[in-house]
Structure 1
Amino acid sequence: MKKVKHNNTKTKEISGDMPNIKMRMSVVTMFLLLCFGVVAVRAFSIQVMGTEFYTEQGDMRQIREVSLPVPRGNIYDRNGEPLAISTPMVSVGVDPSKLINQISRLGQLAEVLSLDEEKLNELVVNKQDKKFIYIKRRIPPYMADSVKALNINGVEFRQEFKRYYPTYEIMPQLIGFTDANDVGKEGIENTYDKQLSGTSGRKQVMQDRKGNVIRDVKEITEAQAGEDLYLSIDRRLQYVAYKALKTAVHSRKAEKGAAIVMDAMTGEILAMASQPSYNPNNISGESIAGMRNRALHDMYEPGSVIKPFTMVAALLSGKFDEDSLIDTTPFEVDGYEFSDARNYGEIDMETVLGKSSNIGTAKIALSLEKEHLWNTFKLFGFGSSTNSGIVGESIGNIEHYNQWSNSRHANISFGYGLQVTTLQLATAYAAIANKGRWRSPTYLKGNIKQDKAIIDPDIARRVSLMLENVVTEQNTGKKARIEGYSVAGKTGTAIMAEKGGYSNKYIASFVGYAPAKEPRLIVAISIVDPKGDEYGGSAVAAPVFKTIMQDSLRILNISPDLENETQNFKAKEVVNG
């Protein structure tokens, strides 16, 4: 039997390689472990150590700086009744670049917001360079919630405020309104826009990818709300003036009109109404005609309501007193004939005013120096601003006396050849009522302006007595009488000027005060182009004065000053009824 030989050499070679293989495996294992370790450390770093860093980086990509809108200050009447308030609303805007790939969803958005889908599509397509465009301003929060429920990326929401006027068309010409950016336009809103607006703030917020605010980050600039304003206006009296004026303008088919109620002693405007009017909560193209404040913007030749100031000039001159006799026979000046409705013959100065004689007034004026008459009118504020504080107030017009012809001299004395506003007339009559002291009117409660003496108190008293005589049964102001109260005032009927001469239209006016013995209220009325057979101040404006004054005296609980004459008044009403 042969012995089998083992290959010891090969076995030795294999045995010799084993350590190398083990070493290599160890190196590979260690390398893999090292790699796993690095990955683990990196993962730990990202998940634990780097959380704050990456959170901050993520936040930075979503933090935005936004405006902090503030509510506009409210406007109240003198008794705290709201005249203009701001209510929270939501405005909707879009980022066109985010919506371009969601055109199919614009129909839903347009439907909820009552928008034209085609126009919304055009806006998104054509405004790709814009990051934000408003598509609907100031909608109620419930409507905004409906939009949010659509969950459309690129639709954003901003808080804003909407102005609301609780008195609707009763006083928009005085209060004014705000535009789409909440900026005051016209009236009080415009004049006091800076105080009412306040100052918007700025803050940083975190938003999600859809633009929704997740949380506030920090305030950058503090917001300051607008200031509230308390006006001198009494909303109750404003309604009385508005209703009486509107009724008269409509019933007489007049073109327009104005009415003012003023505190005789303080100059505070208690009511200021204009016709036509409009609703400031729903402004349209048709609203423009009603936006003009007729009481302080419209200038016109006043007619006979200017005559009391000619009487003041006459008394100041020392050439006349109440008993001075004036011949009212028609006469000519510079080829122009002056006449009255009838020839009153020779009458005293008080009767000249009571009968509203143009001839008598002109003859008195022609006896005075032109400069003297002009100076007297200027003393009472004609041709100058009343400084009431409202932007855009008209100043009227009265030519310098150097430009007057003799006929102009005569015409100006009874209200032609000069232009005034209803506010100027109310302010001038207040000076007579206030014992010869003139004061600028005001629209702010308690903002009483310094008065100044312009004529002797005794002359003011004497002219006031003449004005009381006007409001008697036998004179032109009889329809302004109020049972139980002494009333002083003057009617006016002026032919309206037109290009090249005068038209066949009239302005009817009445300005007066009560109680005449201790004046509390001034009421001024002007009505333009009343239609019908009766168009004068006595028939058209005096009854409006009576309604407004009577109701205002009652509302303010101002006691009658002629209680002993009530029975006599009633008896006359029955006889003449």
Structure 2
Amino acid sequence: MSRQGKRIVKPQASDGRMLFALLILFGVFALILGRAAWIQVLDPDFFRYEADKRHLRATVTDAERGMITDRNGEVLAVSVPVMAAYADPKMVRDGDGFNDMRRWQALANVLEINVDDLVSRVRDNKGRFVYIKRQVSPLVADYIRKLKIPGIALKAESRRYYPAGEIAAQLVGITNIDDRGIEGLERSYNDWLTGSPSKQLVRKTPNGAIIENLSVLEEGENSNDLVLSLDMRLQSLAYTALKKATAYHMATSASLVIIDIPTGEVLAMANTPSYNPNARDGLKPFQMRNRAITDAYEPGSVVKPLVVARALDIGMIQADSTINTSPGYMRVRGGTVRDGKNLGTKDIGTLLVKSSNMAMTKLALQMDVQELLGFYSGFGFGGESGISLSGESSGYLPNRSRWSEHEQATLAFGYGLTATPLQLARMYAILGGGGISRPLSIFKQKTIPAGQQVLSEQAADEVVKMLAGIAKKGGTAPRAAIDGYEVAGKTGTSRKAVAGGYGEDYVTLFAGLAPADNPRLAMAVVINEPKGQDYYGGTVAAPVFAEVMGGALQLLNVEPSRPQTQLAALFGSNDVATR
């Protein structure tokens, strides 16, 4: 065939094929439109339900735990933001998270855990959630994010931090890893500090990121702060002196309490041994005990002023009355009472300062024992202080139908009953407050609470004047003296009871107030089981009292005591007598 004979034949479209293709195309579009209409208009609920199952979640937002501060706003406990590292084992496996073990080694190193243990915890877990480590710092959390291990994630939580450390550890207490209080004020006021969580309905991505807040399911309550009556300046001073004395005398433990006499507020409550609540490795239960309220001891001579106060109050004696204590001992039914030496006939103030057992016995035996016990009870012995601290001991005040003379005598000089350091401090706060017993408080007071008159003001003032000789020449505690301030107080040294009698260990005490001419602070110092030759209240506990009380009075800007000669020059002798 020649080239000219050739001709190009153009393909012709078949009408049937075109129609068929169009029908197919329109049919597909019709199916899509129909399906969309079915999903969106006719039956949307099923698919909306399926989508919600995959993306709607109820989340809980915990209220941040409230702070604990001292009376001046110094923070004692605060929650700081941290993270919890966790794994979704299924997501780790599905994302081939175990392929790069170098990332797991890095994760184990930064968390300070064994890599094999870490991998096995995740790999062997068949669930969808396992904690890797709680309370991770933000810096470590940022490093974990950068490792980008599939299925490893972080969630926000908080950790309690205690700036004061061991100084107020037993009083403030601690929380556990779930931020619940388990000791001290953290435990007693856990609900107040915690508040309640709120619940929200949110929409999340498959990776768990929140993309939309939909509604609030449950409103929570904000947490509350605690403002304590504690003054951390005084607390630090007390703890430092107490720790030093405990170490020097090799004592088992010690406690100290300071009460503001006009208000009944507790300004310091220190104990040794203590612990660091921010580093709890090796923490022992005995270190967490707030011994100032939990441990009760036989107070010994510290309670002798109550016998004198009772005798003055009922008119049995006058402030200038004398008692003959010769020959220094006396037999009573059930035993013998004796003094360290024969003090002869002295006025009641001298005998109180000299701590005469004979004088206290002669007074007590003239009183009705039940009335004396009721008088002790009015000063807070045998009952809780109302300070609202968990674990508080009420001590022991005997209650029996029959009493021997010896039992009644020992009650007068501090044996046969027990009291906590807090109760002893309260006793002297009542004496210094004109015989008024005010409710004790560990919280800062907005107003001064009303008190109850448990002893006449005249009798209370007379006893305080007598006790002012304790730190002077001839007193039993010259080492309790404070330069510039007159001190009133009483020493105590009691042997510890054991099965069948008393052992060789001692409890050493000093309780008192200052300034004696215008009482502001009451304090009790108790040192348990000092070792060595020194175990008397005047040589072991009194120096701690002087150091802490002197510093506290200066920190609070309490005006120094003035000698009577200076007062007479300023106001005249008649004014001085009535002031």
Residues 402 and 249 (structure 1), Cα distance of their counterparts in 2 relative to 1, 3 Å cut: same
1:469 counterpart residue number: 469
Whole-Å Cα distance in 1 between the matches of residues 228 and 33 of structure 2? Answer: 68
Contact 2:300 2:413 (8 Å CA) reproduced? yes
Which among 295, 299, 303 is matched to residue 298 of structure 1?
295
Q: Give the Å deviation of 1:330.
A: 0.8
1:376 counterpart residue number: 375
Greater shift, 45-54 or 131-140, is seen at: 45-54
After superposition, where does 1:134-283 map in structure 2 within 5 Å?
A: 134-283=131-280
Contact 2:334 2:407 (8 Å CA) reproduced? no
2:57 counterpart residue number: 64
Q: Give the Å deviation of 1:362.
A: 1.8
**What TM-score, normalized by structure 1, do the two folds share?**
0.88
Q: Secondary structure at the match of 1:469?
A: coil
- Unpaired stretches in structure 2, ≥5 consecutive residues: 1-11, 567-579
Q: Give the Å deviation of 1:274.
A: 0.2
Q: Give the Å deviation of 1:479.
A: 1.4
Q: Give the Å deviation of 1:174.
A: 0.6
Deviations 1:28-49 (A, max 9, x none): 5434312212323555788999
2:6 counterpart residue number: none
1:119 counterpart residue number: 117
| Residue 408 (1) aligns with residue 407 (2) | yes
Residues 100 and 365 (structure 1), Cα distance of their counterparts in 2 relative to 1, 3 Å cut: farther
Amino acid at match of 1:255: T
Amino acid at match of 2:218: T
Greater shift, 353-362 or 322-331, is seen at: 322-331
Deviations 1:209-244 (A, max 9, x none): 333444544432334331111111111111110111
Amino acid at match of 1:183: R
Q: Which has the larger radius of gyration?
A: 1
Whole-Å Cα distance in 1 between the matches of residues 57 and 176 of structure 2? Answer: 27
Residues 197 and 247 (structure 1), Cα distance of their counterparts in 2 relative to 1, 3 Å cut: same
Whole-Å Cα distance in 2 between the matches of residues 471 and 327 of structure 1? Answer: 23
Amino acid at match of 1:138: Q
| Residue 312 (1) aligns with residue 306 (2) | no
Whole-Å Cα distance in 2 between the matches of residues 432 and 259 of structure 1? Answer: 18
Deviations 1:501-543 (A, max 9, x none): 2111111111111111111111110001112211110001111
After superposition, where does 1:524-543 map in structure 2 within 5 Å?
A: 524-543=524-543
Percent identity reads: 36
Aligned residues: 543
Residues 241 and 256 (structure 1), Cα distance of their counterparts in 2 relative to 1, 3 Å cut: same
2:512 counterpart residue number: 512
Q: Secondary structure at the match of 2:144?
A: helix
2:5 counterpart residue number: none
Whole-Å Cα distance in 2 between the matches of residues 261 and 275 of structure 1? Answer: 15
1:418 counterpart residue number: 417
Residues 220 and 155 (structure 1), Cα distance of their counterparts in 2 relative to 1, 3 Å cut: farther
2:87 counterpart residue number: 94
2:352 counterpart residue number: 353
Relative to its length, the structure with more helix (as a share) is 1
Q: Secondary structure at the match of 1:160?
A: strand
**What TM-score, normalized by structure 2, do the two folds share?**
0.88
Residues 509 and 347 (structure 1), Cα distance of their counterparts in 2 relative to 1, 3 Å cut: same
Q: Secondary structure at the match of 2:296?
A: coil
Q: Secondary structure at the match of 1:535?
A: coil
Contact 2:428 2:523 (8 Å CA) reproduced? no
Whole-Å Cα distance in 2 between the matches of residues 89 and 122 of structure 1? Answer: 25
Q: Give the Å deviation of 1:107.
A: 4.0
Whole-Å Cα distance in 2 between the matches of residues 408 and 131 of structure 1? Answer: 69
Whole-Å Cα distance in 2 between the matches of residues 45 and 236 of structure 1? Answer: 79
2:574 counterpart residue number: none
Whole-Å Cα distance in 2 between the matches of residues 335 and 240 of structure 1? Answer: 45
1:390 counterpart residue number: 389
2:577 counterpart residue number: none
1:80 counterpart residue number: 73
Contact 2:54 2:206 (8 Å CA) reproduced? no
- Unpaired stretches in structure 1, ≥5 consecutive residues: 1-21, 567-577
